[in-house]
Amino acid sequence: MIIEHKIVIADVKLVADFQRYILYWRKRFTEQPVTDFCSVIRINSTAPFEEQDNYFLLCDVLPEDRVLREELQKQRLKEILEQQQQERNDNNFHGICMFCNEEFLGNRSVLLNHMAREHAFNIGLPDNIVNCNEFLCILQKKLDNLQCLYCEKTFRDKNTLKDHMRKKQHRRINPKNREYDRFYVINYLELGKSWEEVQLEDDRELLDHQEDDWSDWEEHPVSAVCLFCEKQAETIEKLCVHMEDAHEFDLLKIKSELGLNFYQQVKLVNFIRRQIHQCKCYGCHEKFKSKADLRTHMEETKHTSLLPERQIWDQPQYYFPTYENDTLLCTLSDSESDLTAQEQNGNIAIISEDTSKLHALKQNSILNQLLPHECLKN
């Protein structure tokens, strides 16, 4: 159209249905001259008249074009919402997890929730996604081509790709890749606006209406998930009661008996989470096909309370959570009750060294013995 007919359509990517748009103006151009609708842009205006060219710009400055674009946007939004509703109600969905090849039947939300919960791969709430099958096929094709979904680099083999996505926390899609925009309903809501622009407007509106009075602020409780099943509770106390009653696992008692500080509790929780995620009993090291089988085994054999030796789980690797945003870790406490009675009473005597003879102090200091010992141990 530009080369042959010298017609330029402004913001062509923002036209919701390009085919209908073209058919409409094709008809209108047969009824009236093009100059009645388009702005004329003359190029080479300083050249002789016969060398000058006129281009015709069709844009939404023209009210008729603006109305047409808005109508096409509304029609597209209607079609997208109908498609989304159909997918939400569809219970004949069939999909396979991209990370563990587990098969899912029923509603699409089952697969999406599984990938978010078990693999920390979250592409958004199921109700916000449209054309889900096509979206998952595109992501699967990228993984089959050994391409990272976030940084989009290509790797030599599947294991290298998996290690990269896990270590770099790249189990998410690239938000700057516009290829994915068409799978999110938010991108169809307003003419010519992407999800980033809509979100920015929402944030700006919140800032404009921000008030200094926080008296009516209500904090919504965040649920923590049981170490052994899907049970959720709003407080650590309720969750501990559940784990003790249902699984005979007393976290508070273990914390008290072993004298665990906050970081040791974190490592213990992350250790148990990882073992359960891998369907492995930490009491006897037996591996199972499913979490349900593992849970049955641990409850029958009372292995939930059979913790391994401290050196097994008190390792730096367990500082890192198995699941992203594990709320249970936020509810752990390092209270004053963890201190010994001697520490609480303040009966610890601190005797300073005599610094008047620094040379003798350096020669006889116990640090001279500890340093070689630690070097040998390392």
Which pair of structure tokens corresponds to residue 166? 């896990």
Residue partners of 44: CB distance under 8 A and separation at least 6: 51, 52, 53
Model pLDDT, residue 124: 84
* 134-182 pLDDT, tens digit each: 999 999 999 999 999 999 999 999 999 988 988 888 888 998 898 998 8
Model pLDDT, residue 199: 64
Model pLDDT, residue 292: 86
- Pick from 265, 264, 268, 260: which is nearest to 331 by CA? 265
Residue partners of 201: CB distance under 8 A and separation at least 6: none
Residue partners of 322: CB distance under 8 A and separation at least 6: 270, 273, 274, 277
Asked whether the beta carbons of 268 and 252 are under 8 A apart, the reply is no
Model pLDDT, residue 28: 94
* 23-80 pLDDT, tens digit each: 999 999 999 999 999 999 888 767 676 777 889 999 999 999 999 999 999 999 999 9
pLDDT mean over 106-126: 88
**pTM metric for this prediction:** 0.50
pLDDT at 374 over 70: no
What residue ranges do the domains of the chain occupy?
1-74, 90-202, 224-330
| Helix, strand, or coil (residue 157) | coil
Model pLDDT, residue 222: 60
* 130-145 pLDDT, tens digit each: 999 999 999 999 999 9
* 250-291 pLDDT, tens digit each: 988 888 888 888 888 999 999 999 999 889 999 898 999 888
Element spanning 95, H or E: strand 93-96
**pLDDT class for 356, splitting at 50, 70, 90?**
low
Element spanning 222, H or E: none
